[in-house]
Structure 1
Amino acid sequence: MKKIGLVLLIGLSIFTAKAQERKLHFSSWNTIDIHKKLTQNWSVNAEFNFRRTNFLTDWEQFIIRPFVHYTFGNDLDVAIGYSYIKNYSYADFSAPIDAVENNIFQQLTIKHAFSKFSFAHRLRFEERFQQKIVKTENDSYSIDGIRYRNRFRYKFQIAIPLYKFNTNRVLSLVAYDEAHLDFGNRLRPEKLDQNWMFLGVSFRVNNHIKIRTGYHDIYAKRTDFFINNQIWETTLTYKM
């Protein structure tokens, strides 16, 4: 019943989005993800996200995100991390000036592997410290303090191997959906803030390198309109 409720909530948000004004734009998101295993259970990794828009001419976001992980076997991963997020002003519907967010997050990933496919649940809770943008008397904008908010993200991903070249080189189909619930400054969800959908392929080059690329569609709710960001996303993962 919980899964059905989540699907209905996502569907309702998309239906409502179509009834309101939609701001459509296109982006290219590219990520470098570096992993280092320290012991059998402990590991660290860092993401570097380069997000461009307007035919790659403008910055949309730049993100640095380091993690510390503790794994229980191959199925359960607990992590804590930090995000530095630079949000740029790139359109009339984006923030009027550039602003920075710093957040701390806790994350749980549960994986299930079967003979012909695998799937994973990722649950992430974020404590967000966002620069507050205010309008000044001369109709310009400035930063005035920090706004604190909480957000919960649930991601469901499935991977299906399509072709195995050898033991280390595998081409897979990857799909996921991720819902973002805005908690405001409380511990109770207030609204569905965003919904992310991805469909693409993943190619494991060897034991160290994996490349994932595909189409990523985002609906982000704002006060009286929706932003629909259609993205081509590529991630390079390197395991040391």
Structure 2
Amino acid sequence: MPIRKFIYAFFLLTIGISHAQTEKKIDNQSILWSRYYTIVNLNEKWSLHSEFDNRLFLKPVTENLFVIRSQVRYKASNSVELGGGLGFFHVATQDPENTTDFMIPEYRGQQDITWKNTIGKIQLSQRFQIDERFIRNASKTELLSGTTFNWRFRFRIQAEYDLWKKDNRFLKTIVHEEILLNAGKSIVKNKFDQNRIYAAFQYGINQKIAIELGYLNSFQQRASGVDYYDRDIIRFSIFHKLKL
């Protein structure tokens, strides 16, 4: 498919961009992401996904941000899914040493197309997602009027493998890599946003509840173009499936 060729070219281009910069200044950070994720199956084709996500710096312990997201997903076929939704982000700080007395809101739209297929016992998925980000303007001490808009383009490839399965319980491992690119008038030096690599174990307690624990490394370019965050992230998730 032509769109897949475009995605792979997009992936290779971002790798080149990420290595083009020299004299990098890298800040290492440790963060805990905790998430409650609900899936409401409306029927065989449509479902509603909602997410509550809190992110906390660990050295020192400081609030990073809080996220509320909701999206509608449509199963177009056995291998293709479409999704679209909205998100609200409340950002406390990106630097645990420099806390502020206010939080910066961000409103975000998102749309994605996901391809799924199975190779032997491995379940593969590829997701191409577009984010529309509306970030509230702010100084170092207060919120200002208006918002700044930019696009973000994301491509993720993921593999899942069942280690054990019995009745409604299971244990599987998940790995993925995701490339994120920025675009828009406000983006000057950080067209490459970040690269994320993730590995996790997910345990299904029953047919409704599953828990997941994983490690995510995020290497993110900042607005200066030469400053970066290298983040070690522990991610704990609870998944809750419901039916109407």
Shorter-chain TM-score category?
0.7 to 0.9
Query: What does residue 229 of structure 1 align with?
Result: 231
Q: Would you say 1:41 and 2:42 are equivalent positions?
A: no
User: Residue by residue, what CA displacement relative to the aligned partner does 1:171-226 show, whole Å, maximum 9, x if unpaired?
Assistant: 1121111111101249xxx7211111101211222221222211100011011310
- Structure 1 position 74, deviation (Å): 3.1
Query: What does residue 157 of structure 1 align with?
Result: 158
1:134–1:144 contact (8 Å) kept in structure 2: no
Question: How far apart are the structure 2 equivalents of 1:12 and 1:107?
Answer: 23
TM-score, normalised by the number of residues in structure 2 = 0.85
Change in CA separation of 1:94 and 1:170 when aligned onto 2, cut-off 3 Å: farther
2:60–2:97 contact (8 Å) kept in structure 1: no
Range that drifts further, 45-54 or 140-149: 140-149
Query: What does residue 148 of structure 1 align with?
Result: 149
Change in CA separation of 1:208 and 1:185 when aligned onto 2, cut-off 3 Å: farther
Q: SS of the residue aligned with 2:127? A: strand
Question: How far apart are the structure 1 equivalents of 2:137 and 2:217?
Answer: 27
Query: What does residue 176 of structure 2 align with?
Result: 176
TM-score, normalised by the number of residues in structure 1 = 0.86
1:17–1:225 contact (8 Å) kept in structure 2: no
Question: How far apart are the structure 1 equivalents of 2:96 and 2:172?
Answer: 38
Query: What does residue 83 of structure 1 align with?
Result: 87
Question: How far apart are the structure 2 equivalents of 1:150 and 1:162?
Answer: 38
- Structure 1 position 85, deviation (Å): 0.4
Query: What does residue 72 of structure 1 align with?
Result: 76
Identity %: 23
Change in CA separation of 1:158 and 1:19 when aligned onto 2, cut-off 3 Å: farther
Question: How far apart are the structure 1 equivalents of 2:22 and 2:199?
Answer: 21
User: Residue by residue, what CA displacement relative to the aligned partner does 1:8-44 show, whole Å, maximum 9, x if unpaired?
Assistant: 633662x467841111110000111101111221110
- Structure 1 position 5, deviation (Å): 6.5
Query: What does residue 111 of structure 1 align with?
Result: 116
Query: What does residue 193 of structure 2 align with?
Result: 193
Change in CA separation of 1:160 and 1:83 when aligned onto 2, cut-off 3 Å: same
Change in CA separation of 1:92 and 1:117 when aligned onto 2, cut-off 3 Å: closer
Change in CA separation of 1:18 and 1:208 when aligned onto 2, cut-off 3 Å: farther
State the aligned residue count: 231
User: Residue by residue, what CA displacement relative to the aligned partner does 1:145-193 show, whole Å, maximum 9, x if unpaired?
Assistant: 11111111111111112223x132221121111111101249xxx7211
Question: How far apart are the structure 1 equivalents of 2:28 and 2:205?
Answer: 35
- Structure 1 position 114, deviation (Å): 3.4
1:175–1:199 contact (8 Å) kept in structure 2: yes
For the aligned residues, what is the CA RMSD? 2.5
- Structure 1 position 73, deviation (Å): 3.4
1:58–1:90 contact (8 Å) kept in structure 2: no
Query: What does residue 219 of structure 2 align with?
Result: 219
Question: How far apart are the structure 2 equivalents of 1:105 and 1:142?
Answer: 24
